[in-house]
């Protein structure tokens, strides 16, 4: 079982997810199990993989500083680990 975590700031229509061991595919549908709202279906719109050989592009369109801060806050070591990130709607 792989754990997927929500990263950075979210809006009512868009958010980022991250995982250490599960890759994401564009147009893939996943389900969030929420105790308050029930099961929520979302689609992966963009997917990227980052590791020490592919540095994070903070100034790019895909990832922002909030996502990077969230990764570090929940225990990811971005400079040493492979991190899979998806932009979802």
**Pick from 60, 54, 48: which is nearest to 86 by CA?**
48
Q: What is the pLDDT of residue 61?
A: 57
* Cα distance between residue 4 and residue 18, in whole Å: 6
pLDDT tens digit sequence for 33-78: 888 988 889 999 999 888 777 665 555 556 667 777 788 888 887 7
Q: What is the pLDDT of residue 68?
A: 76
Q: Which residue has the higher pLDDT, 27 or 65?
A: 27
pLDDT higher than 90, residue 24: yes
pLDDT band at residue 25 using 50, 70 and 90 as cut-offs? very high
What are the residue ranges spanned by the domains of the chain?
5-88
Q: What is the pLDDT of residue 74?
A: 82
Note whether 37 and 15 are within 8 A (CB).
Answer: no
SS (H, E, C) 31-70: EEEECCCEEEEEEEEEEEEEECCECCCCCCCCCCHHHHHH
């Amino acid at each position: 079982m792989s754990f997927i975590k929500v990263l950075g700031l979210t809006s009512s229509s868009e958010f980022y997810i991250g995982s250490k061991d599960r890759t994401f595919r564009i147009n893939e549908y996943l389900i969030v199990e929420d105790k308050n709202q029930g099961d929520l279906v979302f689609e992966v719109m963009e997917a990227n993989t980052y590791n020490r050989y592919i540095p994070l592009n903070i100034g790019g369109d895909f990832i922002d500083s909030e996502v990077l801060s969230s990764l570090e806050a929940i225990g990811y070591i971005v400079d040493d680990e492979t991190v899979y990130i998806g932009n979802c709607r």
